[in-house]
Structure 1
Amino acid sequence: MTVVKVETTTSWSERLRGMDRRVLAAVVVVLVLAGSGTWWFLQRDNLPEGAAFQLGDEVVMADDVDRRIDALEALYGVQAPEKKSEKSDFLRDAAKSMAVQLMLQDEAKERGIVIAAKEIDDTLQTLIEQRYPDGGRTAFVAALGELGASEDQVRDEIGDQLLVSRLFDDVAGDVSIDEAELEAAFEDRKDELATPVRRNLRNIVVADRPSAEKVLRRLRAGESFTAVAKATSLDSSTRDKGGDLGALPADNLEDAYAKAAFTAPVGALFGPVQTESGWNVGRVDKELPAAPAKFAELREALRRTVLAEKSLKEWRTWLKDVIADHDVTYADAYLPDDPGAVPDIDQADVTEGK
């Protein structure tokens, strides 16, 4: 439970520092899994019963799509939604991504790109350690059994993703940027890259207003914020840190909470404030002034970001041509909403299990 907006927890400058082309290549794998477009042609009557789609001469059955989803669940926790309408969209996206994956396999083969078995082994081991930190391989094998999936399916999926990452590097890994272009990019973005006013906040979240008012009375009576937070807060991520939220700008907070937190004087308590997580009582510990973006400090991070953006643009242009060169026939139940779309960052929800 938190008052922080999930989608905007980092500043632009923080995002810059974490982005490079190798990371982007991994992101593109997610995009391919979650939202690549394919073309739909009208001759659907020729598909055999139980087919999801046909790519060229290859027919992919609905069971094949289901097995791939099982492998993704074992690896990443991807699950089809329970609601019928959402599940239908999920299956359409899954079929669409599988068609594009097959196209990319062909493209990789033409370029002589091969993934070694040891690289798949190493990647699988890393994923098992990350996804099943307590049970390890035993928990992984048990999960496969529950899903009716096999380790070979999972290995195939990993191989496909590594293949796409390698293909991305081959297609879009040679972009460059000169100093003039970098300086121009900074001028265009310097307002976004500036650090806004931030406040160091502490917070306690409880279930209802009477509980919040009781917390506020205890704090005003002189009890330690840290002690009251540990004893009463429902937010497990901050409770043991005395409710410390760290330094945050107003835009990173839910609106009602931000208004209260940024109008209260430094050192003052504020609340109760109702948010999606419950009823909150906070304290402003410190205010950090806004700071303009400095080219010298952000130069390398900005360079990596611009290179990543240029790589992605080149990849998308190439991928659009690949998609256009392939004939895909979808069964009605697997027809994507936007068959001709090239993946966007916003389309990554499927593989993140959202």
Structure 2
Amino acid sequence: MKRNLFGMAVGLVVAASLLSACSKDGADAKYPTKPISMIINFGSGGPTDLSARALAKAAEKHLGVPVVVVNKPGGNGVTGVSELKNAPKDGQTIGILSFASVAIIPNQIKAPYTPDDFEGIIAYGEYQYCIAVKGDSPYRTVADLSAAAKKKDGGFSFSASGYPQPFAMVKVGEKDGSKFRYVNFKSGMEAVMAVVGGHVDASVAIVSDVLPFLKSGEVRILASAGNSRMPQAPEVPTLKEQGYDVALVSWFGVGAPKGVAANQLEVLRSAFLKATDDPEYQNTMKTLSLPSMKTSGPEFMKTLTDGYKEIGVYFEQIGNK
């Protein structure tokens, strides 16, 4: 009898240990069992919002539960990212992580987070940027624009809605010895309207914000500011092709607060990876003129972390930190 009682006690201890380990790891074979919230760090109707909603809808088919979108705009994306950082680490809250909000802005202001506060699920898109001037501008190339800026006292002004866009004109100015003054606007559309209205000499903006004015002839694109030419204007060369060693890379994707269980991250990563092949999602990305991608969560976080460090060094060099 004693031997049997001892065996039962050992069995209970082992079972309790296993249950404890499972609890610590957040292991739940049925995850997810209830709706998941997705925080979007920008307002409704923009490219980030619309692409994220399309991806969330596609991911629902693989998760088996609704993905409820919550917009938390403000502070150039900082408000939503802060909410994600402070969310419970139970796998029930995920959110959009954008390069500017996570890697750049924390180097400019005292943001309540760094890339180390998050886990990557997937990077699914990339913002494409371009340099544009007014449609009747005499400038046909970036070199034309830069040469004219060099001749003018005080240089030229350009509009943008935040970083990384200004880096393009910084590099042009450094190479040519020309001066460009950055004029900040709250949105990309406002930045483009400024060049259309003749209030600034040029604009560095997201391609999707420029396209309506390109089609109407109100703006002219001088360069693609990315690694490749734009499908919407394939005749326009990149900055690199024009002799300027700069390409703006600005990924955005889905992440979770640091501390979410590994098995839950695996489920989320698998579901969102499959979601990127959804035809409706792909059509949304094409409509928004956003290149679709499917970069793994760990690689996404490496890009954000490396970018955060590199941009930190840059801001220290120019005395902006």
TM-score w.r.t. structure 2 length? 0.24
TM-score w.r.t. structure 1 length? 0.22
Larger Rg: 1
Higher strand share: 2
Bigger relative contact order, structure 1 or 2, given CA contacts below 8 A and separation 6+?
Answer: 1
